[in-house]
Amino acid sequence: MNLYKKYIDVELLQKKDGEIVPQFLLWTDGKRYPIDKVISKERRASPVGGCGMRYTCLIQGKRRNLFLEKDRWFIESLRP
């Protein structure tokens, strides 16, 4: 698999206890994808470079890794 780091916009819910829950991915073509479920959340490094809080999510029935790296979000994405 040929993955790369793709920075994206994310809509999220920040709970009153400070917990961050990503809700939607906003793709560069303007499409908005709901995050069906956050499976896990843990501090990890990505094989594509960078590290931070990794959110393993279900998006349209597919398991994807979404990272909060400092103050930016990226997803491990397949090269076009």
User: Would you write out the chain's pLDDT as a tens digit for each of its 80 residues?
Assistant: 688 899 999 999 999 999 999 999 998 888 999 999 999 999 999 999 989 999 999 999 999 999 999 999 999 988 76
Q: Where are the domains of the chain?
A: 3-78
Strand ranges inside the chain, DSSP E: 3-14, 20-26, 32-34, 37-45, 51-59, 62-69, 72-78
